[in-house]
């Protein structure tokens, strides 16, 4: 072999044995992503489930998953009407089946008529099926007491997550400009910290006020903004209302102040409103950022705002369909052009998800054949969630060393654990966050799987965990009973 061919052959051997993509070459922004909701405790929960299947003895019979807002995974039944319309769209031969009501068939026909080749197996427009976007606009307008919504301001997305990502991407600064800053609540739903890491964007963290039921103080927004200004160009403010993981519902006055803050500081508003149907508090009501902004009139009406919604939450809980929409108002037309271009590169959101979103925004109306069943199923889900929200905070507050704000909305409680100093020291010795150690011990002792507060962010020196209110009433009562027993023994262990 000539020396050149020997060189080539040794190079190709090198290429086969050594990977191009290693931790040394991986995009560091991806390596920086953390996602607690599916983190080490959840991985351990899956291992324990396997161990239980193999007969490994444990002090419990099953893992109780209260770690993720996945309603159907916790046994919630899908709403008949949503499933019927999506089924009809998927398999139009069912149109002849007398089991399906005419209103379900009419909804499915409308959607299919707007799909290329009358099939949800075709790509839709990148911004989503036209008729569904029109129905979204009508839904928003009815929700907001008649304030107009323009279908051209709406794009459908693969879950709210992809919509959030698409808009967030627009706010990241370019190669030669200083880093963009985006304001995030703490505690926060970790999608946002993950996206900021991925996009190499500066997180401007503001704390929600636990003492005032996780409300949002504008003084705190100012503090966080001023602190961040030397490090980035502040661009946007994320507000999650109703809150995840904190379960608060913002009052109208509070929203007004947030909007005034954004106006004063020339900041783009990102309103995550995926839990708009999940309201349980006695005095709580959902106010969309758009409605409040429009009610303030004048210059406020011209502010840029993106609002996100999903099929995954509410009474639907249809996470697997990956349906979502974004209403984007007052956006510069040239920017919009580039947004649409970037959406086109992804072809289109899941069309099944678009059909599901279409049903959520165009449910049966009074007098239609499916109306009564639809309302009764919807009320049943929301009624149970309300009962579980109240039960959870009440039972948690009965436990010494645990305090929990009222779960006013969404699907989560975020109780504070008042950990003894010895537990904190023990965690440090194990090189763990104290609340991670607490949640790990909880899982190993009881099978209850919750997410440590450190995965969402929290004020230094405070410790929490997030649990969903999604298990059935019976399961939730059992979970909270087991939890109380565990907590007492944990406190004795580390007293």
Ligand X SMILES: Cc1ncc(COP(=O)(O)O)c(C=O)c1O
CA angle 251, 254, 259 (to 5 degrees): 125
Give 69 or 128: the residue with its C-beta nearer to ligand X.
Answer: 69
| 352 is an interface residue for ligand X by CB under 6 A | no
Give 155 or 189: the residue with its C-beta nearer to ligand X.
Answer: 189
Give 306 or 402: the residue with its C-beta nearer to ligand X.
Answer: 306
Q: How far is the CB of 246 from ligand X (least distance, A)?
A: 10
Give 321 or 494: the residue with its C-beta nearer to ligand X.
Answer: 321
| 408 is an interface residue for ligand X by CB under 6 A | no
**How far is the C-alpha of 399 from the C-alpha of 396, rounded, in Å?**
6
Chain-centroid distance, C-alpha 356? 18
| 189 is an interface residue for ligand X by CB under 6 A | yes
Half-sphere exposure of 23 (CA within 13 A, CB side): 2
Q: How far is the CB of 371 from ligand X (least distance, A)?
A: 26
**How far is the C-alpha of 250 from the C-alpha of 288, rounded, in Å?**
10
| 319 is an interface residue for ligand X by CB under 6 A | yes
Q: How far is the CB of 217 from ligand X (least distance, A)?
A: 20
| 69 is an interface residue for ligand X by CB under 6 A | yes
| 305 is an interface residue for ligand X by CB under 6 A | no
Give 112 or 319: the residue with its C-beta nearer to ligand X.
Answer: 319
**How far is the C-alpha of 368 from the C-alpha of 103, rounded, in Å?**
7
The only residue of 312, 362, 370, 405 in contact with ligand X, by rule CB under 6 A = 312
**How far is the C-alpha of 259 from the C-alpha of 330, rounded, in Å?**
14
Give 180 or 319: the residue with its C-beta nearer to ligand X.
Answer: 319
Q: Quick count: other Cβ atoms within 10 Å of Cβ 412?
A: 28
Give 323 or 363: the residue with its C-beta nearer to ligand X.
Answer: 323
Q: What is the DSSP letter of 154?
A: E
Please, which of residues 112-171 interact with ligand X by CB under 6 A? 159-161
| 274 is an interface residue for ligand X by CB under 6 A | yes
Give 112 or 381: the residue with its C-beta nearer to ligand X.
Answer: 381
Q: How far is the CB of 353 from ligand X (least distance, A)?
A: 9
Q: How many residues bind to ligand X according to rule CB under 6 A?
A: 14
Sign of the Cα pseudo-torsion (454, 460, 463, 468, in order) = negative
Tell the burial category of 379 from Cβ atoms under 10 Å away from its Cβ (0-12, 13-18, 19+): exposed
Chain-centroid distance, C-alpha 110? 29
Tell me which residue of 278, 274, 277 sits closest to 306, measured CA to CA: 274
Q: How far is the CB of 242 from ligand X (least distance, A)?
A: 9
| 103 is an interface residue for ligand X by CB under 6 A | no
Q: How far is the CB of 191 from ligand X (least distance, A)?
A: 6
The only residue of 78, 281, 324, 453 in contact with ligand X, by rule CB under 6 A = 324
Q: Tell me the residue number closest to ligand X, measured at CB.
A: 159
| 468 is an interface residue for ligand X by CB under 6 A | no
Q: How far is the CB of 161 from ligand X (least distance, A)?
A: 3
| 455 is an interface residue for ligand X by CB under 6 A | no
**How far is the C-alpha of 320 from the C-alpha of 163, rounded, in Å?**
16
From residue 205 to residue 244, the character string flagging contacts with ligand X as x (rule: CB under 6 A) and all else as - is: -----------------------------------x---x
Q: How far is the CB of 414 from ligand X (least distance, A)?
A: 12
Q: How far is the CB of 18 from ligand X (least distance, A)?
A: 37
CA distances 311 to 2, 323, 430, Å, are 64, 5, 41
- The length of the chain in residues reads 495
CA distances 336 to 301, 342, 378, Å, are 18, 10, 36
Alpha helices in 188-251 (DSSP H): 191-198, 218-228
Q: How far is the CB of 144 from ligand X (least distance, A)?
A: 20
Tell me which residue of 102, 129, 128 sits closest to 114, measured CA to CA: 129
Tell me which residue of 149, 94, 144, 159 sits closest to 352, measured CA to CA: 159
Q: How far is the CB of 449 from ligand X (least distance, A)?
A: 16
Give 104 or 269: the residue with its C-beta nearer to ligand X.
Answer: 269
The only residue of 103, 210, 272, 441 in contact with ligand X, by rule CB under 6 A = 272
Paired sense of beta strands 233-240 and 268-272, if any:
parallel
| 195 is an interface residue for ligand X by CB under 6 A | no
Whether a cis peptide bond, with omega within 30° of 0, leads into 220 is: no
DSSP letter string, 384-453: HHHHHHHHHHHHHHTSTTEE-----BTTEE--EE---HHHHHHHHHTT--HHHHHHHHHHHHH-EE-EEG
Q: How far is the CB of 65 from ligand X (least distance, A)?
A: 14
Binding site residues, ligand X, CB under 6 A: 69, 159-161, 189, 191, 240, 244, 272, 274, 310, 312, 319, 324
């Amino acid at each position: 072999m000539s020396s050149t061919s020997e060189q080539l052959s040794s190079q190709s051997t090198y290429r086969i044995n050594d990977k191009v993509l290693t931790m040394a070459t991986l995009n560091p922004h991806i390596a920086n992503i953390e996602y607690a909701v599916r983190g080490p405790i959840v991985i351990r929960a899956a291992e324990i489930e396997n161990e239980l299947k193999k007969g490994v003895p444990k002090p419990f019979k099953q893992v109780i998953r209260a770690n993720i807002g996945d309603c159907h995974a916790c046994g919630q039944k899908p709403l008949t009407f949503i499933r019927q319309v999506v089924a009809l769209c998927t398999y139009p031969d069912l149109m002849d089946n007398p089991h399906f009501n005419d209103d379900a068939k009419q909804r499915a026909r409308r959607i299919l008529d707007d799909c290329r080749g009358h099939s949800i197996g075709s790509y839709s427009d990148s911004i989503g099926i036209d008729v569904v976007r029109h129905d979204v606009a009508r839904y928003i307008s009815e929700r907001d007491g008649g304030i107009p919504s323009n279908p051209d301001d709406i794009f459908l997305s693969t879950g709210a997550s992809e919509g959030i990502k698409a808009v967030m991407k627009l706010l990241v600064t370019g190669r030669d400009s200083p880093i963009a800053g985006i304001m995030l609540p703490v505690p926060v739903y970790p999608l946002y910290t993950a996206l900021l890491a991925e996009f190499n964007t500066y997180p401007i963290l503001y704390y929600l006020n636990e003492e005032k039921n996780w409300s949002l103080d504008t003084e705190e927004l100012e503090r966080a903004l001023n602190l961040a200004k030397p490090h980035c160009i502040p661009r946007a403010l994320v507000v999650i209302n109703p809150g995840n993981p904190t379960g608060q519902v913002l009052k109208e006055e509070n929203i007004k102040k947030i909007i005034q803050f954004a106006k004063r500081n020339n900041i783009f508003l990102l309103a995550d409103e995926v839990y708009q149907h999940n309201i349980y508090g006695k005095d709580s009501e959902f106010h969309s950022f758009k409605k409040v902004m429009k009610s303030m009139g004048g210059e406020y009406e011209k502010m840029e705002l993106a609002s996100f919604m999903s099929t995954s939450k509410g009474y639907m809980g249809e996470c697997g369909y990956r349906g979502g929409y974004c209403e984007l108002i007052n956006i510069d037309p040239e920017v919009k052009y580039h947004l649409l271009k970037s959406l086109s590169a992804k072809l289109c959101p899941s069309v099944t998800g678009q059909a599901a979103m279409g049903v959520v925004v165009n449910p049966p109306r009074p007098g239609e054949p499916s109306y009564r069943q639809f309302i009764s199923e919807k009320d049943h889900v929301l009624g149970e969630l309300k009962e579980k929200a109240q039960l959870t905070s009440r039972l948690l507050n009965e436990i010494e060393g645990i305090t929990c704000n009222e779960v006013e909305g969404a699907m989560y409680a975020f109780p504070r654990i008042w950990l003894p100093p010895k537990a904190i020291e023990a965690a440090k010795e194990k090189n763990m966050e104290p609340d991670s150690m607490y949640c790990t011990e909880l899982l190993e002792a009881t099978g209850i799987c919750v997410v440590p507060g450190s995965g969402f962010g929290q004020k230094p020196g405070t410790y929490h965990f997030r649990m969903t209110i999604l298990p059935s009433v019976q399961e939730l009562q059992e979970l909270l009973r087991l939890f109380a027993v565990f907590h007492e023994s944990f406190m004795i262990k580390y007293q």
